[in-house]
Structure 1
Amino acid sequence: MTFLNFRGRAAAGAGLLGAALALAACSASDLDVPEYNNPSIEQLETNPTPAGIKAAAVGMLLGAKSDMTGRTGYISMLGIVGRESYTLDVSDPRYVSELLVGPVTNSGAFGAGLWTARYADIRLGNIILHALDKVEGMSDAEKAAVRGFVKTMQAYDFLLVINTRDVNGAPIEVDQPLGSDLAPIASKSAVFAHIVSLLDAGRTDLQAGGASFPFIMSSGFARFSTPASFITFNRALKARVDVYTQQYATALTDLNASFLNTADSLSVGAYNTYGSGSDAPNDLAGSDVIFAHPSVVADAEHKPDATLDNRVLAKVTTVDERSLSGVKSDKAFTIYASNASPVPIIRNEELILLRAEARWFTNDKPGAMADLNFIRTTSGGLAPIAQPATDAAFITELLKQRRYSLLFEGGHRWIDARRFGRLADLPLDLPSHIRIAAFQVPLSECQSRNLPSPCAATP
């Protein structure tokens, strides 16, 4: 059995549900221990109860943040390939030898990582959706609220997968019974279409979800703790997908239905939360091996008073220099102050930048510049600029503002460079270094389908 299809009782899915049922008892490592006979999963599949479904929904919140902040987690790995960060760990030079020098393989935590945790969470969501069809003791509104929440979080998981695999694609038909054929590897466009379908279906469910969720939301979703307010988070994710797929007119509609608000704090948004015990720590905080790429400071603009962009001053500091395999840095991140620091999923500042992009490419260039200059002045403390003369010049400015506003939050620089065909703009520190365009589909997934390795979506 592969982890991808989770055609039996998924180990990681069981762990997430177990963690939700015993929040104080589990550690982060517990979520990775196979529990094929977990009775809570058995009950959820065969004789679900309202309490079990509510606990499983909390488990999806745990799953959403799994594999995000570790050294081989999403933020750090995408930070390296996007030249936001280095991991200079003398005990494991693969952070340089694979991610900077290459080639990236499709096995191990480097080339084949950032996969299993996402599909574990998707699988748990599918179990919840099936349980809702059987459970007694929940109102129709409560069921709709849970369905809308689950589909939205599944869409987020699929988005993280395709962000890493891009044109290599990813399976989407993974809700299959034991013994069925493995899901095919779908194309990038099919994955994005599936994400859109989940988000739209989730919104419809949330609209019928009543006044409150039947489970306790994470504090990172404090602004989105009811079905009605959670729709604004759903639409924010949808707007990000719209922009990624250049559906700019649709993006403006979804942004209008999101929580975008230039009168609100730029930090307002949805966050993955961290801590201790079952609320695993944010391992990006205080790391002695994760460094900022020197270009973060070198490329930054200066404010009218000649000091650096406020975002650099707030997010990066100078430390003792570290070098490894010809790579060196004396810059470190201060974004995450402690191991309890939350990590943004999406926030107001990104939404304003998404709207700037959508406005520009729907020919509202004054509106686009209003948004872009709002971020320059409000977030960066920089002087406003005149409207660029060309699309290319606007994109250059947009990517600069996105780089500093969303620094080390979720691989945005790498994703942006790829979607605009600007990977060549990412610096190479040594002639032996390469620029990685996408991670591979894991070797085990190719082998389980009897496909040659590396494998990808069929054109």
Structure 2
Amino acid sequence: MKKTFIAALCASSVGLGACGLDIPDLNNPSLESLQQTPTRSSVTAAAHGLLIGNRDNKSDHNGYVAHLGLLGRESYTFDTTDPRFGNEMLTGTLNPGNAAFGGNFWTGPYANIRNANTLMEALDKVPADDLNDAQKEAIRGFAKTIQAHEFLTIVSARDTNGGPIDVSGDPRTLAPIVSKDEMLTRVVSLLDEAKGHLDASVAAENDAFPFTLGSGYAGFEKPSTYVKFNRALKARAQVYLKDWTGTLTSLGESFLDTNRELTLGTYYSFGTGSGDTINGLTNTAIYAHPSIVRDAERKPDCVDVGAEPFRCLDARVGRKIAQVAQGTYQNLSSTYGFTMYEQPTAPLPIIRNEELVLLRAEANINIGTEAALTAAEEDLNRIRVINGLEPVLLTTENAVDVLLKERRYSLLFEGGHRWIDMRRYNRLNQLPKDRTNDVVHERFPIPVLETDARQ
């Protein structure tokens, strides 16, 4: 009975951190040394561990982008060794008992949240001549931003099923499961707390982290610039909360810049070296959903050329999609593949300037005044014209339709945005059902080990 309880505790949200750091890991110091005798090197190693944990399972072929892409009909995964990609993910119900499918995106994020708590608790014990107060503030700002991002991953997958947020206490005590809005509110408050720490570090004339964030954070590797990433994440969470004026405030403090490239942003980076991780979205079993090409808008006055099948379509299609040999599995088929992740080291976006422009347009559309609608029209048309499409006249009647189309193609297969967006606007019933028994799942269930531990 005791062994069963411990196993359930490790799998539940409240037990993950305590169990996870007990396992030897070259990317993390031992739990005992971090808690009792932390040093600069052990703390910075733990910070690197948070970066690695945050990247974990985002680009796997059964990871966050691929699974949410399946649910949002952005992609197929024709893995002939596992029929669940075609049946469980697209028909029937999601199984909460399997951590690779219906029970996914729970244990990893909660482990990282608890590990961040352990890191922050250790900071007070590090001697001042090893890490000064300003450096510790920078680490706290970083760690709380990571925690907020992990909670955002959990609530994006679980939606109204919610999840625990009070997971900083005794791991043997089960934290209550709270609502979606409470989780998102916690995301916002964590990001604000993180900003306070980052600002305090800069105010103390320390504008550097005592560790490197890696190439994916190029341009955002200092507290004064990392805070702009923090504000971008807050804007995304505020849009999910329908806090439209708050969204505009956060975007004003973010890295949104219509004079900069739309690709500006933060990314998960990958490598082929020993101990590193490759981008698993290179998997040849992953195909693009045919509706992406079928629904794409045509450029005005364009003449098709046989050798250039996407020449007359929205330029985002040609940049992200290519024709490939037909893949067929379980009465599904596609002749399109993604080109964004052709190399194992291809970066995966966390949040980009293009999304921020779209978030600003969404906030203005929902504010709904004439001036706000005009501002939204300018932002949406800026993206449309760049991609070879004609400007549109935005009205209160067509604004959401235009927004969702632009988000669909701009953020294609980057982070489950299509599924999340259609759910947010109660339009999941508009997603394609390719077979008679197909369904569109609304949310992931809470894992069975989590619910069993509460009985």
TM-score of the aligned structures, taking structure 1 as reference length: 0.91
Partner of 1:35: none
Q: Does the aligned pair in 2 maintain the 1:82–1:413 contact within 8 Å? A: yes
Partner of 1:64: 54
| Rounded Cα–Cα distance in structure 2 between residues aligned with 1:323 and 1:418 | 28
Report the identity percentage.
43
Post-superposition offset of 1:344:
0.4
Q: Does the aligned pair in 1 maintain the 2:255–2:353 contact within 8 Å? A: yes
- Matched residue of 2:318: which SS? helix
- Of 112, 118, 130, 1:127 maps to 118
- Matched residue of 1:345: which SS? strand
Post-superposition offset of 1:244:
1.0
* Corresponding position: 1:189 with 2:194: no
Matches within 5 A, 1:35-184: 40-108=30-98, 109-136=100-127, 137-179=130-172, 181-184=173-176
Give the partner amino acid of 1:188. K
Deviations, residues 29-62 of structure 1 (Å, cap 9, x unaligned): xxxxxxxxxx622100111111111111111110
Deviations, residues 289-330 of structure 1 (Å, cap 9, x unaligned): 100000000000111243111110010111111111111111
- Of 279, 282, 290, 1:282 maps to 279
* Corresponding position: 1:238 with 2:234: yes
* Corresponding position: 1:369 with 2:377: yes
Give the partner amino acid of 2:135. E
Post-superposition offset of 1:9:
5.5
Partner of 1:208: 200
Matches within 5 A, 1:295-334: 295-306=291-302, 307-334=312-339
- Matched residue of 1:328: which SS? strand
Q: Does the aligned pair in 2 maintain the 1:12–1:117 contact within 8 Å? A: no
Partner of 1:455: none
- Of 224, 230, 238, 1:228 maps to 224
Q: Does the aligned pair in 2 maintain the 1:2–1:448 contact within 8 Å? A: no
Aligned residues: 427
Post-superposition offset of 1:206:
0.3
Q: Taking structure 1 as reference, are residues 178 and 354 closer, same or farther at Cα in structure 2, changes over 3 Å only?
A: closer
| Rounded Cα–Cα distance in structure 1 between residues aligned with 2:405 and 2:16 | 46
Post-superposition offset of 1:337:
2.3
Q: Where do 5+ consecutive residues of structure 1 fail to align? A: 22-38, 451-459
Give the partner amino acid of 2:408. R
Q: Taking structure 1 as reference, are residues 12 and 69 closer, same or farther at Cα in structure 2, changes over 3 Å only?
A: farther
Q: Taking structure 1 as reference, are residues 148 and 389 closer, same or farther at Cα in structure 2, changes over 3 Å only?
A: closer
Q: Does the aligned pair in 2 maintain the 1:6–1:174 contact within 8 Å? A: yes
Post-superposition offset of 1:178:
4.4
| Rounded Cα–Cα distance in structure 1 between residues aligned with 2:269 and 2:70 | 23
Post-superposition offset of 1:8:
7.2
Post-superposition offset of 1:72:
1.3
Post-superposition offset of 1:123:
1.3
| Rounded Cα–Cα distance in structure 2 between residues aligned with 1:125 and 1:282 | 24
Partner of 1:357: 362
- Matched residue of 2:319: which SS? helix
Larger mean Cα displacement after TM superposition, 438-447 or 188-197: 188-197
- Matched residue of 2:322: which SS? strand
| Rounded Cα–Cα distance in structure 2 between residues aligned with 1:14 and 1:365 | 53
Partner of 2:25: 18
Post-superposition offset of 1:80:
0.2
Post-superposition offset of 1:278:
2.7
Give the partner amino acid of 1:200. D
Give the partner amino acid of 2:374. P
| Rounded Cα–Cα distance in structure 2 between residues aligned with 1:48 and 1:86 | 46
